[in-house]
Amino acid sequence: MENKGMLTISEFGKLAGVSRKTLIYYDKIGLFCPETVDPESGYRYYSYPQLDVISAIYALKEIGTPLKDIKIYLDERTPERLVALFEERKAKIDAEICSLKRISDMMGSRIEMTRASSTIDTGKISVEYMPAERIFISPDISNVDDESIWDIIQEFYEYCALYNISYGYPVGDIVSMESLLRGEWHFPTWYFARLDEPMALPHIGLRPAGYYAVGYIYGNYDSVDELYEQINAYIEENGLVIDGCGYRESILDEIAVQNPDDYLFQVSVKVEKPPEDDKK
């Protein structure tokens, strides 16, 4: 039997990146059969155009399409069915890519924060310029009872999960300017989460660009009050003027360390632009 221009099962498998065992199994279930079989030797032979078919099978299998569904498509394939199937699968791939990108971005951010933590001087407070950042903000929790607070917190986290907001990022909190001026920073006004990309959703706010008095402290959540006190003292000593809210963020949290006393927090309080010689 002449088999010029044909590939043996081993040759085809090598080009396609598919094992001989898999090709035999696909032939057995009728999913993907050789172009021809030598009636005397029983050897399977494949054609070069079949490489496109096996590539499509592999791609569909890789994204979780059951073999039985792939077989149904191949048995009844038409241009219209191809478009419908591929559009459906492409939409799922695109969604997975977006999800993986968010996870990758979160990991990158965590890596940067954790590496930076080793060089942070917790004994120093400085004034830094920060660019504007879009954030997702919870409802006001400053004047609600304990039971309602937990309802708001639960709703906040559920909303974040629903819209993949701040996936894997630590959630921070905000103290209003009015509370800061009264020295009441022990209880936050809002919770907030970072946004990886612009979203047309309710409760989207902006941490405004500008100058912030920034400090860091190791300790559990109770230590944040002490850091606010230190920053407030720094603001008064340096003749600065509070010009906005205070933001508490976690640099090292329960994902990075086991002991809550080893958490590392950053607090930034917006201030009016300082004179040039006061920038530190």
Give percent of the chain above pLDDT 70: 94
User: Which option is the CATH number for 123-278: 3.90.1660.10, 3.20.80.10, 3.40.50.720, 3.40.50.300?
Assistant: 3.20.80.10
Rounded-to-integer distance, Cα 160 and Cα 154, Å: 10
pTM over 0.85: no
The CA distances from residue 52 to 49, 55, 56, in Å, are 6, 5, 6
Write out the DSSP string of 87-101.
Answer: HHHHHHHHHHHHHHH
Locate the domains of the chain by residue range.
7-77, 123-278
Task: Give pLDDT, residue 279.
Answer: 46
The mean pLDDT of 256-277, rounded to a whole number, is 91
Domain spanning 7-77, CATH class: mainly alpha
Q: Which residue has the higher pLDDT, 100 or 226?
A: 226
Residue with tokens 């009728």: 30
Secondary structure (3-state) at 209:
coil
Burial letters 36-62, b for 16+ CB under 10 A, else e: eeeeeeeebbbeeebbeebebbeebee
Task: Give pLDDT, residue 240.
Answer: 96
Task: Give pLDDT, residue 78.
Answer: 93
Q: Which residue has the higher pLDDT, 277 or 4?
A: 4
pLDDT tens string 148-180: 888 888 888 888 878 777 666 788 999 999 999
Q: Write down the mean pLDDT value for the chain.
A: 90
pLDDT tens string 94-150: 988 988 888 888 888 889 999 999 999 999 999 999 999 999 898 888 888 777 888
Burial letters 140-169, b for 16+ CB under 10 A, else e: ebeeeeeeeeeebeeebbebbeeeebbeeb
Burial category of 109 from C-beta neighbours within 10 Å (exposed 0-12, middle 13-18, buried 19 and up): middle
Task: Give pLDDT, residue 194.
Answer: 83
The mean pLDDT of 82-100, rounded to a whole number, is 91
The mean pLDDT of 206-219, rounded to a whole number, is 96
pLDDT tens string 177-200: 999 999 999 989 999 988 876 677
Task: Give pLDDT, residue 100.
Answer: 87
Task: Give pLDDT, residue 3.
Answer: 66
Task: Give pLDDT, residue 203.
Answer: 76
